[in-house]
Structure 1
Amino acid sequence: MSFLNVPKAGFPASGSPQKLGQGSLSKKVQLDKGYSLHDWIVLHNDRSKDLTSVGGGFKRVSVAELQQHNQIENAWTAIRGKVYNLAPYMRYHPGGADELMRAAGRDGTQLFDQYHAWVNIETMMERCVVGFLVGDDLSAIRERRKAQSKPADPQSGAAIDPAIGQGQKPRFDWYQSAQVVNIVFMSQYDLHEDNIIASLDSSGSLLEVVAVLGPASSYVFKIRLHDKVIASQGMKVLVKNGKAQITMVKAQEARWPKYGELLPGNGVVTSREVKFHECSIVAVQKITHDTNIYRVRLPSAVHFKVPVGHHVIVKVNVEGMDLTNPYTVVQSLVPSSPSGADGCAVDILLMVKIYPKGVVTPHIGKLSAGDTLRVSDPQGSFDTASLENTEHVALIAMGTGITPMTSVISHVLSSSTERKVHLLFSNKTESDIMWREELDQAVCTSSGRLSVQHTLSEPGDSWTGDKGRLCLMKVQQFLDPIVNKEKLLVCVCGSPSFNVSVKRWLAELGFTAGQYHIFS
């Protein structure tokens, strides 16, 4: 399992399209037979069907007309100026028709960005486009958005999070030799490798650096370099003492008179565009009968490290439609030598369960070493600061819900504290237990700081461990030995129904929202 050696992660990135949070849950509904994502693709690609309700073409839609289309059988919404007919998609929407109706008859851009910023609506709903939002009253929408937004940064015009003081805003300096150029970013806010995202364009002329300043804000630098650097050689990123230094090799040996110039779009932002990168698959390992781990290597011109419990969005093209799935990045639990210590980009690990009747995972299941995969920047909201005042961390996971728990376990065990981790891991059969060998090794090397309890809902005759579906009594028995509940954080991850059940049981046991975190 040597290819699983990846570095530790630890700093939370900014707000996430995947709804993660203490006590928050993604709402999903059971779709009727014949209304799966695959069924939507089939309908969407059927050119004989009019999904616009207006006979095709592009209408000029006023705000007043848009407001009239607010019924479930006749629902329109506007997203970034385009008007979409939502009615054909109602029964296919994973969150249900009620959720979709929240955007009916109005501009749904803000709502869409809050929950689905990573979704490519241009391909997902291409044939549902009614037209474009026009008219003088459109300016009223813009004014309302402006009034509702946070104060603007006078230098960049970007929205400012009031929680970020002016002194915390990053700044940068530069120095050079004839061979390399170094850009150094500084801030009173503590910078870590986990909250710096850097990328070069393919020409080696444009550098973008994102410094994640808090749970909902980032500072973006967009720089046109004075001359080209060698993008194929990538960047060396070192973070130390609150400074982040990015070193790039010049395409031509020469001393530059200046670093280049700042481009429009610099400043504090409360939401960022979800960027995807063409990554290469280095290795694939089968860990159960239906689950693989993919070691994915970032392009040389992209650098980031995924924080604890955070995820990336994977985008694949299926029958001409770009589809996305979030996958929490897993962390190897077997002690290994540090990776990426020289500041170069590191690989990430994705644990993917292949569902034969799914749409996205069968496509990923066919990939092998040497193939490519489009992967986004890190997303998520889990904050390791929630662990600071704890003595115990209890993890309750089902199936692929083990993925965020791996980085939590690794983070806790690598810290200098005596904090203990307890894992209750529920699966269907013994062959479904993911990373069992890694978990066993981690228990053996944890000096008693990690305990793992397995429970199977459909155990075989040879199984001697706990049996039966997870229930209130099992959760209570798992948590009871931890005496000081005030120094305990519970993390939960599984299917939506599993998360709802465990959340209810925790409430019955007297836990409040601040004492647990739901990964959903």
Structure 2
Amino acid sequence: MGHHRVQELRRHGPDVYELVLERNDLAFEIGDCLALHNEAAAQSRPYSIASGQDEDSLRFVIRRMVGGVVSPHLCELRNGDSVKVNPPFGWFRPGACGENAPFVFIATGTGIAPFLSYLRTPQRPAPVRCLYGVRALHDVVERDWLASQCELGLAISREDSPGVHRGRVTELLSDLPETPDLHVYLCGLDTMIDEVSDWFENRGLHHTQIHREVFFHSA
């Protein structure tokens, strides 16, 4: 457990932020989480690390939750402020399915964080595709950069945007290649994860090829 100073707080939309902290040589694996604290309230919440393993900073994608205890605090921090951080933990390992196995990333909302960590780490095989579902265009984190790193399929559920699918991310599944050795990495809301898991299992994918990380709205 230690304290890390804020380097930057970037606002992506009305309630979506990217918090950047000093790394302080903290070691982590792609897919790990850290518990970030609001010390005044004696509360903490887990957030997936969104930075690459070689970066000097720790990045987190945070949705500010109305009535929350930790997320509003984190979204009001200033450069130089100190954040108490617990040691990393986790078992979700994007892309760890073997060198030659094809894989896809599917995320909703802030569930994109562990996939950002993977894609920001050099010399990693690219996913076949990354499907990313959000409510509105301003909720998208690093859209142009993501599109430069992999084939990006974007779905927006609550508004129209030129050139972007209007609807749920699950409606993009039929565009994916049907390969028996495909591995699927899911991160986001439990409803999406259950629906996507069922979709692939009904098409013959073994449950061991479906890797799940359920994201709850951390308040």
Q: Is the 8 A contact 2:34 2:46 kept in 1?
A: yes
Which of 105, 123, 127 matches 1:414? 123
Q: 1:438 to 1:384 in 2, by over 3 A?
A: closer
Q: Cα offset for 1:312? A: 0.7
> 1:157-236 to 2 correspondence within 5 Å?
none
Q: Unpaired segments of 5 or more residues in structure 1?
A: 1-275, 333-337, 340-345, 444-449
Q: 1:469 to 1:518 in 2, by over 3 A?
A: same
Q: Cα offset for 1:326? A: 0.6
> 1:333-482 to 2 correspondence within 5 Å?
339=55, 346-383=56-93, 386-411=96-121, 414-415=123-124, 420-440=127-147, 442-443=148-149, 450-460=150-160, 462-471=161-170, 474-475=172-173, 477-479=174-176, 482=177
Q: Cα offset for 1:470? A: 3.4
- 1:198-226 CA-to-partner distances (Å, cap 9, x unmatched) read xxxxxxxxxxxxxxxxxxxxxxxxxxxxx
Paired with 1:424 and 1:384, the residues of 2 have a C-alpha distance of 14
Secondary structure of residue in 2 paired with 1:485 = coil
Paired with 1:308 and 1:463, the residues of 2 have a C-alpha distance of 33
Q: Is the 8 A contact 2:102 2:128 kept in 1?
A: yes
Paired with 1:331 and 1:298, the residues of 2 have a C-alpha distance of 10
Q: Which residue of 2 aligns with 1:310?
A: 32
Secondary structure of residue in 1 paired with 2:43 = strand
Q: Cα offset for 1:512? A: 1.6
> 1:47-86 to 2 correspondence within 5 Å?
none
Which of 187, 192, 197 matches 1:503? 197
Paired with 1:509 and 1:484, the residues of 2 have a C-alpha distance of 10
Q: Which amino acid aligns with 1:406?
A: L
Paired with 1:459 and 1:433, the residues of 2 have a C-alpha distance of 13
Q: Which amino acid aligns with 1:428?
A: R
Q: Cα offset for 1:356? A: 2.4
Q: Which residue of 1 aligns with 2:217?
A: none
Q: Is the 8 A contact 2:38 2:69 kept in 1?
A: no
Q: 1:385 to 1:405 in 2, by over 3 A?
A: closer
Q: 1:362 to 1:383 in 2, by over 3 A?
A: closer
Which of 324, 327, 331 matches 2:44? 324
Q: Unpaired segments of 5 or more residues in structure 2?
A: 215-219
Q: Is the 8 A contact 2:180 2:204 kept in 1?
A: no
Q: Is the 8 A contact 1:394 1:491 kept in 2?
A: yes
- 1:292-348 CA-to-partner distances (Å, cap 9, x unmatched) read 21221145xxx32221111111121354xx21111111136xxxxx65xxxxxx321
Paired with 2:175 and 2:117, the residues of 1 have a C-alpha distance of 21
Q: Cα offset for 1:395? A: 0.8
Paired with 1:455 and 1:284, the residues of 2 have a C-alpha distance of 26
Q: 1:434 to 1:420 in 2, by over 3 A?
A: closer
Q: Is the 8 A contact 1:308 1:408 kept in 2?
A: yes
> 1:144-155 to 2 correspondence within 5 Å?
none
Q: Which residue of 2 aligns with 1:513?
A: 207
Paired with 1:509 and 1:493, the residues of 2 have a C-alpha distance of 20
Q: Is the 8 A contact 1:390 1:489 kept in 2?
A: no
Q: Which residue of 1 aligns with 2:188?
A: 494
Which of 272, 289, 304 matches 2:14? 289
Secondary structure of residue in 1 paired with 2:27 = coil
Q: Cα offset for 1:369? A: 0.6
Relative contact order (C-alpha < 8 Å, sep 6+): which is higher?
2
Q: Is the 8 A contact 2:131 2:169 kept in 1?
A: no
Secondary structure of residue in 2 paired with 1:292 = strand
Q: 1:431 to 1:502 in 2, by over 3 A?
A: same
Larger radius of gyration: 1
- 1:483-507 CA-to-partner distances (Å, cap 9, x unmatched) read 4331x21100111222222222222
Q: Cα offset for 1:389? A: 4.4
Q: 1:384 to 1:352 in 2, by over 3 A?
A: closer
Q: Cα offset for 1:421? A: 3.4
Paired with 2:43 and 2:152, the residues of 1 have a C-alpha distance of 35
